[in-house]
Amino acid sequence: MSTQTQYKDLEPDETYAFKPEDLEEGEMILNMGPQHPSTHGVLRIELKTDGEVVNDARPHIGYLHRNFEKHAENIDYQGVIPFTDRMDYVGSMANSLSYAVAVEKLMGIELNERVECIRVIVSELQRIASHLLAIGTYGLDIGAFTPFLHSFVEREKILDLFEWLCGARLLYNYNWVGGVSHDLPEGWTGRAKVFLDQFSPVIEELDELLSHNKIFTARTATVGIIPPELAVGYALTGPNLRGSGIKWDIRKEDPYCGYEKYDFDVPVGQGRYGPIGSCWDRYYVRVDEMRQSVRILRQALDQLPAEGDVHESVPKRVKPKPGEAYGRTEAPRGELGFYVISDGSLIPMRVKGRSPCFVAMSIFHEIAKGEMLADMIAIIGSLDIVLGEIDR
Amino acid sequence: MSLDAAAVQAKIEAKFPGKIPSAELEVVDPFLFVEVDAIVDVCTYLRDDPELAFDMLHCHSAVDYLPPKNPEEARLEVVLHLTSLKHRHWIVIKVKLPRANATMPTLENVWPTANWHEREAFDLFGIQFEGHSDFRHLLLPDDWPGFPLLKDWVWPEEWHGIAVKPTAKMAERAQQGEQIGIGPFD
Amino acid sequence: MALKRPALEATISNALSALVVGGAAGAVVVIALIPMIAGLIRDGLAARLTPTMTSVASIAIGVGATVFLITQLPIFLIWLERKIAAHIQDRLGPMRVGWHGVLQSFADGLKLLFKEDIIVDGADKFLFKLAPFLTIMGAFAAFAVLPWGEGLVISNLNIGLLYAIAITSLGAIGILMAGWASNNKYALYGGMRSAAQMVSYEIPTAIVILSVVVQVGSLNLSDVIAAQQGGVGGVTNWFIFRLYGLNVIGFILFFICGLAETNRNPFDIPEAESELVAGFHTEYSGMRFAFFFLAEYGAMFFVAALTAVLFLGGWSGPFFSGPLVLFVKTLALVFVQMWLRWTLPRLRVDQLMALCWKYLIPISFVVLIAAAIDGVVGS
């Protein structure tokens, strides 16, 4: 295939999916983004609006694209991990965990129980932190400012724990192929338990403050309905799929890191204030998931084996045999998978990141049709997208 | 009832004889190759057959194989990771495409999620998908030169006056076998 | 004595804070003493000038005092709102500029004053410049009929309530004009939403006002207050306690409509920052933006004051009467407005309209009819 090296100059109009000549009487093209306070990043959505009603929508992504997959083909296996951290930058622990699981699957590395337990602890803490951000900003999208700051206070405490653990607050580079970078510091588990005791009532408080507010339910419980068939067809995963009432959680279906040892429920959307699969259902699945994460964390902190070297299984040189593996984990936003192909060298031949947000965003035009302008924000927020992961 | 890869292969062979040229069943994730001309039919069958019921295309990747030692193996592959939520089994389907003018029919009508994945594969690998409803660039700018994930893609010097070519330091060092340090081991 | 720079800054900041806090305390004392001062001034003027000149001079002094109040008030209210928001949200808010950040609004105002005055290329320049003035005029001209005490009103209009309804509507024109003239789709959305919202909510507002007017028999605000004086402890004659409790409904309706009229949360859809960026003032910066901001807080204060006048007895209080009583009542209502803003999410535009047309207007008619029947039966 020829590799062209010339680019052509495009008129700005050529980047529009909707053409002015196709508009009906009274329709208008409205660009939401790339600079917009509620698109959760650098996302541009082209809306065909008729007054307040949105007739059609097309998302334009790629403003944060840095081609992580090309980076990965030029650096050794361990070196990919910092790049994965920067995909979903509010759920970094889960990203590196997923990549590590994929490479370990490829190399057939078995981990000791302490490492597995630590990974469960950090990924559940990360899930709580990520969901706190999701529901806080969702309140902000709907116009309630206060829950946002209250949830940030709690998120901050988790970030403090992570900082104590590995020195970083956002991009941790913590899960390595075959282990984790640092063992838990002395006293860390005790502090984590103190956090959990203090955090459990806060979930109920946030619940009372926002979840069942009349205005909030009126704004969210009847918009952005994703029927179960559509959700499966678009391969939604995580809270977005479960919000449509489908019980599917990688932690249960394809357990990794010993998740089968923990007792927890998989919350699904109940359709309490409207049809199943609404924005409110997706939001509330996240609230319920935080409760379940607390349950898992309590068990994990109690079961944590005292003995075990976290670097025991870390290979001196990561050099898998030729082959391929697809490793997947339940990240806060859904199934995060890495498809890693090795050609036997020190550098991966191909790393494909399967991003849950990318898939979630691809359904947007289906559910946005016929809703109102203000609902766009409610839908984007309920899908809980992170543009760093969509664009990779 | 969960099926393993061999059973899936047998079912497809029975329905579409000769459309599975080869398969790897003894690896970590077993995969089947499917002929490109039968891919839509096979995929529709995989989705609709009640015993298979692969209702979710959860990962769609393109891969560029360009081994320097044996150039006759050069090819593009489209890899589909399929899951059945009903039976809780999964399978990997691969399609081989020539590197020159790679074209395959779209799977958008089988699994709507293929829409964006195919646009991404076009962006990064230049694979054309026939019958796609909204075939535009997705991640890259509309006028980006070339398809960056092809192994023989060369960096442009500049793009609209922006210097885009990276300085080849870390990549070269890694290519020469040096381990790039990322932790207290180094 | 040579001070190092940080120490000098701290000294200046402390001195200014002391000045502001002291000034605020002084203002409270002055407000409390206004009737006496006004009486002294009036007597002094009457002794020296002709009657016509006396009334002209006293109006001028009243206008001057009110202008001073309403230009300084938003600055205080903005600080207050930020502190209230901060404490609701478990944080401190402005703390650096002066004592507990009291100088923050002055610093922000100064910054806005010095900012570049940007007029976007595609804007309709004349309307773009005119819009903030109209809005701020609508908000502040309404203060002309607000009675602060016995005889303490700039213009004792006999159609004061009508004037208040009419002049506050001017703000809607300003906002619509700003949205149109900016030549920005988001601003246009904000302007259109605002026009629809304000026009709709004027109806229940006017009907609730009418129900009070029916009970008083006058459109004059001073008469409204006079009708509420007396009673047990000077409280039971307030309109909120009359008409068999139906006026409580009227009071709540009027308060809700007041929120909508001033574009406050949960009705702040014209500037809904999460969907419309900043709504009608997206393209405004510097002092023109500040005008919208001041107008919002001015309108907020006026609506709260009008609520106090209509339902809570205005300046007549249980223990003593005067401007301070009205001020305290108004600030209490303003606090509730702020409290709601930082607690509730925002309605969608169709829900907002449904609330107005399907619920508020019918209920307000019920109150009006009840007031009318009560008036007929009572006489």
DSSP string, B23-60: EE-SSSS-EEE--GGGHHHHHHHHHH-TTT---EEEEE
CA distance C302 to C321: 19
**What is the phi-psi region of residue A178: left when phi exceeds 0, alpha when psi lies from -120 to 50, beta otherwise?**
left
Looking at the predicted structure, is the pLDDT value of residue A2 above 60?
A: no
Q: Is residue A377 classed exposed, middle or buried when 0-12, 13-18 and 19+ CB atoms within 10 A define those classes? A: buried
End-to-end CA distance of chain C: 78
Of A233, B169, A331, A214, the C-alpha closest to C359 is A214
Interface A-B: count of C-beta contacts within 8 A: 156
Q: Do A146 and C342 touch (CB under 8 A)?
A: yes
Long-range Cβ contact pairs of C13-22 (< 8 A, separation 24 or more): C13/C97, C13/C98, C13/C103, C14/C98, C14/C99, C16/C98, C16/C103, C17/C98, C17/C99, C17/C102, C17/C103, C18/C99, C20/C98, C20/C99, C20/C102, C20/C103, C20/C106, C21/C99, C21/C102
CB A50 within 8 Å of CB A27:
yes
- Give me the interface pTM, i.e. the ipTM: 0.83
Q: Do C344 and A215 touch (CB under 8 A)?
A: yes
pLDDT in tens, B15-48: 877 777 777 777 788 888 888 888 888 888 888 8
Q: With an 8 Å Cβ cutoff, is A17 touching chain B?
A: yes
Of A78, A341, A327, the C-alpha closest to B67 is A341
- For residue C191, which phi and psi values (nearest 5 degrees)? -65, -45
C-alpha C143, offset from chain centre: 9
Looking at the predicted structure, is the pLDDT value of residue C173 above 80?
A: yes
DSSP A185: P
pLDDT in tens, A151-189: 888 999 999 999 998 888 888 888 888 888 888 888 888
Looking at the predicted structure, is the pLDDT value of residue C93 above 80?
A: yes
CA distance C238 to C213: 14
pLDDT in tens, A91-135: 888 899 999 999 988 888 888 888 888 999 999 999 999 999 998
Of C217, C242, C220, C238, the C-alpha closest to C229 is C238
Interface chains of chain B (3 or more CB pairs under 8 Å) = A
Q: Report pTM.
A: 0.84
Best mutation target among C188, C348, C353 (most A Cβ atoms within 10 Å) is C348
Confidence of residue A285 (pLDDT cuts 50, 70, 90): very high
Q: What is the pLDDT of residue A1?
A: 39
Q: With an 8 Å Cβ cutoff, is A269 touching chain B?
A: no
Radius of gyration of chain C (CA): 22
For the segment C53-79, the average pLDDT, to the nearest whole number, is: 77
Nearest CA in chain A to B144: A7
Token pair of C300 as six digits: 């907020």
CB C118 within 8 Å of CB C289:
no
Q: How far is A374 from chain B (nearest CA, A)?
A: 25
- Name the H helices within A262-325: 279-303
Structure-token match 């090296």, residue found:
A5
Looking at the predicted structure, is the pLDDT value of residue B185 above 70?
A: no
Q: Do B28 and A352 touch (CB under 8 A)?
A: no
